[in-house]
Amino acid sequence: MEKLAPAIAPPPGIGDRRPSNKAVLDWVQSVAQLTQPENIFWCDGSEQENDFLFGEAGRLNVLIKLNERKLPRSYLHRSNANDVARVEQFTFICTPTKEEAGPTNNWTEPAETYQKLHRLLKGAMRGRTMFVVPYIMGPADSPLTKVGFELTDSIYVVLSMRIMTRMGKVALERLGESTRAEWNRGVHSLLDVSPERRFIAHFPQDNAIISVGSGYGGNVLLSKKCLALRIGSYLARKQGWMAEHMLILGIESPQGQKHYVAAAFPSACGKTNFAMLIPPSHFAGWKVTTVGDDIAWMQIRDGRLWAVNPENGYFGVVPGTSYKSNPNAMRSIEHDTIYTNVALTDDGDAWWEGKDGAPPAHAVDWRGNDWTPASKEKAAHPNSRFATPMRNNPVLDPHVEDGDGVPISAIIFGGRRSDTMPLVFQAFDWEHGVYIGATMASETTAAATGAVGRVRRDPMAMLPFCGYNIGNYFRHWLEMGKRLTNPPLIFHVNWFRKSPNGQFLWPGFGENMRVLKWIIDRSENSAGASESAIGYVPRARDLDLNELPSVSTEQMATLLSVNADEWRNELAGHGKFFDSLGGVVPGELQKQREKLAERLS
């Protein structure tokens, strides 16, 4: 357990390169005075530093080195068993008024929260090292790029941040000397990794984050959910851009025609798989490339929406990942990867449920206990994760470092729905698309603590990540639409519809290319659809279903059907959700609901 790891003593030349920005130095000093670490380690992101830290993490049992031949330069981390997922109930948006945080966020008053957290942080790093991690989110030369600093007492966080962000010197260069520069202040301490003292607090007005009591990635890699989404969405509205929980992928036809799409699915609904999709053999010559698998920052240029991926790596769900489900992810995690909470085989390999091949006869499970295929417990935690550099991805898009981003032709919303939602449909226009995003729902997964499989409304997949009032977030979407002269078309997809006997109707994975192709064709005005009450739905003949023997004509009909009863139920769900938001929903979206009700009646 990492909480026991003592301070580390770096040799000369490592961990001693202080930034020169006075505002940063003053802030680090003030946090050090509060937390009282044994020493301060100033990270520069170099190879030498990284090698040293991996060595120390191994020596201190924070990481277990995996079989070098099977998984070169890769490690296993086991988190505390009570600390394996995001904790939405302990996540707070601390704005001056409750109304600014809105009805979907936990709110606490900023001054009181600082006081409470400072009490917890007082002396919390005694006997430990405090690492100073400078990083940027976004390509080095993008106008959207943000600088952040994370102070942490976790070596696992430092090593993961080096994978997930552009870390070190590049951030110090981007920041420069100005004491008035914009940068995010992030403080993280493991404390005693107790759920009673676990808080993830965001102070959007101060561009600051304090996270204590957890070691789980989504709670402690402050670059990701905390900065890139919660603080990011707040800054995006203020500054006129968008921070979204979306993958970005490129799709190129055999003729070299290229489109980019951005897709918002809730956590653990297959964003990474979709972003790395391999088209089936029927689509020979088509290529899908990944710009990002989780977060998109988007701005308007020339009336179009352009997106960058602010991250530098993937923090993906491991179970279910295989050469069958996602060969590109498998190749990405074959080396230079940190695994968290997977099982360890006797020959030092990583193992998880859903991996190719037979289970090992014996392994050590994610808790550190002996495991055999006869065990009742899962070997890997359902939310076990990999952190791997995006450079490992064999289908990384060549424009991933372009500061201007890539132009987005279509936005796709989607969720995990056993019924109601057809395989795909298209919004009538931007405003209708915003309504579809605002009312989307999904069955819950293991990515957050709580019940799994319950349908919950998750607007734009941002419910846990919108850093301000959701009503104003919807308004921001509507305003962005007005500024876009050439807006992306908006779609909704559902790979998870089931037959009455509980079987998935759609094969998913690579076959999702057929849906993607229709989406691209619609943006080029070259595919048909029928107009339904809920939007434009393809007829079976509008999709390329050649060489897809696994889906019968009846299955296809169900997949594309709009069931009036189910939709009346769905509409009631929209109404209930809007009501639960207590009057913040913009009039335009209420109108959209009324129009849908009319079309369904």
For Mn ion, the binding residues (CB under 5 A) are 267, 294
DSSP per residue, 110-129: HHHHHHHHHHHHTTTTTTSE
Binding of residue 360 to ligand OXD (CB under 6 A): no
Residue 276 in the binding site for ligand OXD (CB under 6 A): no
**Contact yes or no for 75/64 (Cβ under 8 A):** yes
Integer-rounded Cα radius of gyration of the chain: 24
Helix axis angle for 22-35 and 110-121, nearest 10°, is 60
Q: Fill in the amino acid letter for 552.
A: S
Q: Quick one: which of 315, 339, 477, 578 contacts ligand OXD (CB under 6 A)?
A: 315
* CA nearest neighbour of 456 among 337, 286, 594, 573: 573
Among 267, 312, 328, 340, indicate the residue that binds ligand OXD (CB under 6 A).
267
Alpha-carbon distance of 126 to 105, in angstroms, equals: 33
**How many Å from the N-terminal Cα to the C-terminal Cα in the chain?**
59
- Least Å distance, CB 272 to ligand OXD, is 9
Strand order in the sheet with 343-345: 350-351, 343-345, 363-364, 370-371
- Which CB atom, from 218 or from 535, has the smaller least distance to ligand OXD? 218
Closest contact distance (angstroms) between CB of 255 and ligand OXD is 34
Quick check: 447 binds ligand OXD (CB under 6 A)? Answer: yes
Binding partner of 447, given Mn ion, ligand OXD, none, CB within 5-8 angstroms per partner class: ligand OXD
Active site includes 269?
yes
- Tell me which of 43, 94, 226, 269 is the catalytic residue: 269
Retrieve residue 377's tokens.
């417990």
Beta bridge partners of 394: none
542 interacts with, out of Mn ion, ligand OXD, none, CB within 5 to 8 A per kind: none
Selected from 218, 279, 415, 481, the binder of ligand OXD by CB under 6 A is 218
**Minimal distance, residue 317 CB to ligand OXD, in Å:** 8
| Residue 542 binds to ligand OXD (criterion: CB under 6 A) | no
Residue 245 Cβ, how far from Mn ion at the closest point, in Å? 6
86 makes contact with ligand OXD (CB under 6 A): yes
In whole angstroms, give the CA distance from residue 258 to residue 42.
42
The backbone region for 491, taken as left when phi is positive above 0, alpha when psi lies in -120 to 50, beta otherwise, is beta
Asked if residue 232 binds ligand OXD (CB under 6 A), the reply is: no
Count of residues near ligand OXD by CB under 6 A: 6
Q: What are phi and psi of 100, to 5 degrees?
A: -65, -35
- What is the separation of C-alpha 89 from the centre of its chain, rounded to a whole number of angstroms? 18
Task: Select 294 or 365, whichever has its Cβ closest to Mn ion.
Answer: 294
Cα angle, residue 465 at apex, residues 584 and 89 outer, rounded to 5°: 90
The DSSP bridge pattern shows strands 184-189 and 146-152 to be parallel
Q: What contacts 39, CB < 8 A, 6 or more positions away?
A: 7, 9, 129, 130
Query: Which entry of ligand OXD, Mn ion, none binds 365, CB below 5 to 8 A by partner kind?
Result: none
Between 294 and 542, whose beta carbon lies closer to Mn ion?
A: 294
From the CB of 233, what's the least distance to ligand OXD, in Å? 14
User: What element of type H or E holds 208?
Assistant: strand 208-212
CB of 266 to Mn ion, least distance (A): 8
Phi/psi at 223 (5° precision): -65, -30
Q: Does 131 bind ligand OXD (CB under 6 A)?
A: no
The minimum distance between CB 214 and Mn ion, in angstroms, equals 16
- Applying CB under 6 A, among 150, 153, 244, 294 the residue interacting with ligand OXD is 294
CB of 383 to ligand OXD, least distance (A): 8
Nearer to Mn ion, 2 or 83 (CB): 83
The nearer residue to ligand OXD, 57 or 447, going by C-beta atoms, is 447
Judged by CB, which is closer to Mn ion: 217, or 538?
217
Could you tell me how far CA 460 lies from the centroid of its own chain? 12
Shorter beta-carbon distance to ligand OXD: residue 294 or 431: 294
143-182: contacts with ligand OXD (CB under 6 A)? none
Nearest to 279, CA basis, from 288, 271, 270: 288
528: CB partners within 8 A, 6+ apart: 538, 539, 541, 542
Please choose which of Mn ion, ligand OXD, none residue 218 contacts, taking the beta carbon within 5 to 8 angstroms, the exact cut-off set by kind: ligand OXD
Q: Are 375 and 353 in contact (CB under 8 A)?
A: no
Q: Is 336 in the site for ligand OXD (CB under 6 A)?
A: no
Nearer to Mn ion, 272 or 426 (CB): 272
Name the residues that contact ligand OXD, by CB under 6 A.
86, 218, 267, 294, 315, 447
What residues act catalytically? 269
